[in-house]
């Protein structure tokens, strides 16, 4: 029933009508000076907007969505199966970005599927965020260009899903087509050149690029380790 109401609200012609309907019919807390465009699918258990904006043609499905003063979600973004999405003041998700968690009931760590973007952080166009675990982005961070990816999970040779959070410090620039792997946290005041694979934590500020293929270690096998959780026929391990 709620999905049908959300679809109908998306077709209403005026911003004030959409906001009023979201408040009354969906229970969302939206300030009257916020703006929500037409043709959005916004399905949340909790939603708060304060002087924020959402453009058009977005799919947003999250347990909790919190947009602070001056923050915005542009157009054609897909935020799906997230647990919590929080944008601090003036943070922006521009267009064509995908922030995707796991399907309901699949992961035993659902409450860790959080996307947190700090003050004046900008996610530009066409980036991909794997929300198997928390992605926390600091203040004044830019995901520039297009098609960068942040991953929070992988698998070992026995199909055990291994997941770790990713943290990006404040005042960081990420160039086009970068890949940030699970656990590869990035310290503040760092610039990552286009096409770089960040496979380990960056602890010292600076400019980083990658161009070599190196053998790092043997393949790891987590299947016999303590802490394995079985769910829906699959095995999970969280570091």
pLDDT in tens, the chain (239 residues): 899 999 999 999 999 999 999 999 999 999 999 999 999 999 999 999 999 999 999 999 999 999 999 999 999 999 999 999 999 999 999 999 999 999 988 999 999 999 999 999 999 999 999 999 999 999 999 999 999 999 999 999 999 999 999 999 999 999 999 999 999 999 999 999 999 999 999 999 999 988 665 666 776 777 777 888 988 888 888 87
Q: Which CATH superfamily is domain 2-238 in?
A: Hexapeptide repeat proteins (2.160.10.10)
Q: How far apart are CA 232 and CA 239, in angstroms?
A: 20
Would you say 89 and 69 are in contact if contact means Cβ atoms under 8 Å apart? Answer: yes
Q: Where are the domains of the chain?
A: 2-238
- Please report the sign of the dihedral spanned by the C-alpha atoms of residue 51, residue 55, residue 57, residue 60: negative
Would you say 71 and 90 are in contact if contact means Cβ atoms under 8 Å apart? Answer: yes
- Determine how many CB atoms are found less than 10 A away from the CB of residue 131: 26
């Amino acid at each position: 029933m709620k999905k049908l109401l959300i679809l109908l609200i998306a077709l209403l012609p005026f911003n004030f009508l959409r906001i009023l309907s979201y408040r009354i019919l969906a229970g969302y807390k939206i300030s009257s000076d916020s703006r929500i465009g037409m043709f959005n699918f916004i399905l949340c258990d909790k939603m708060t907007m304060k002087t924020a904006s959402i453009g058009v043609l977005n799919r947003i499905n999250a347990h909790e969505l919190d947009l602070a003063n001056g923050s915005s979600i542009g157009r054609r973004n897909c935020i799906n199966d997230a647990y919590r999405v929080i944008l601090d003041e003036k943070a922006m998700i521009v267009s064509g970005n995908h922030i995707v968690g796991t399907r309901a009931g699949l992961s035993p760590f659902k409450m860790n599927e959080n996307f947190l973007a700090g003050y004046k952080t900008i996610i530009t166009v066409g980036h991909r965020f794997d929300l198997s675990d928390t992605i926390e982005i600091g203040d004044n961070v830019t995901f520039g260009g297009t098609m960068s990816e942040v991953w929070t999970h992988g698998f070992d040779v026995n199909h055990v899903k291994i997941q770790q959070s990713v943290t990006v410090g404040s005042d960081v620039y990420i160039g086009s087509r970068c890949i940030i792997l699970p656990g590869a946290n990035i310290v503040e005041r760092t610039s990552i050149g286009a096409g770089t694979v960040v496979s380990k934590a960056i602890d010292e500020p600076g400019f980083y690029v990658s161009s070599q293929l190196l053998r790092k270690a043997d393949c790891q096998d987590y299947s016999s380790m303590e802490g394995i959780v079985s769910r829906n026929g699959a095995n999970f391990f969280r570091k």
